[in-house]
Amino acid sequence: MVIHLHGDLGAGKTTLVRGILNSLGYSNRVKSPTYTLVEPYHIAGLDLLHFDLYRLNNEREWESAGFRDEYDGEKIFIIEWARKGGSSIPQADVEINIEILPTGRKAELHANTFMGEKCLERL
């Protein structure tokens, strides 16, 4: 499963990931991977990798970091600033667009694959 998160700085992308992890039973600190680029989690029998590509300068940096090797069809990828990875990153099963409103946030979820459709049906 690959989830791309889109939104301006401060829109709540990492907060959403924190909520997902907490709902799976993760109770430790969830930090933004802005500087490390990726934070791995093993929770509820799942391997989840939380990426933040904000600091990437070009898609070659995704390749040189070896992230493609992590994509094995078993792990869950949640990728903030996915567009910075260009065509090198895996296609999103689900895309979430978060918009800052004057009184909160608006999130739009889009399924791009059959797996993504099944996931959104369960919500």
Question: Domain boundaries in the chain?
Answer: 2-90
Q: What is the pLDDT of residue 86?
A: 85
pTM (two decimals): 0.92
Q: What are phi and psi of 83, to 5 degrees?
A: -60, -25
The CATH code that applies to domain 2-90 is: 3.40.50.300
Distance CA 2, CA 95 (A): 9
Q: What is the pLDDT of residue 100?
A: 95
Residues in the chain with pLDDT values less than 70: none
Angle, CA of 33, 93 and 83, to the nearest 5°: 50
Q: What is the pLDDT of residue 32?
A: 85
Q: What is the pLDDT of residue 120?
A: 93
Range list of β-strands (E), the chain = 2-6, 38-43, 46-52, 76-80, 94-101, 104-111
Q: What tens digit of pLDDT does each residue of 41-57 get? A: 999 899 999 999 998 88
Strands 46-52 and 76-80, sheet pairing:
parallel
Q: Three-class SS of residue 51?
A: strand
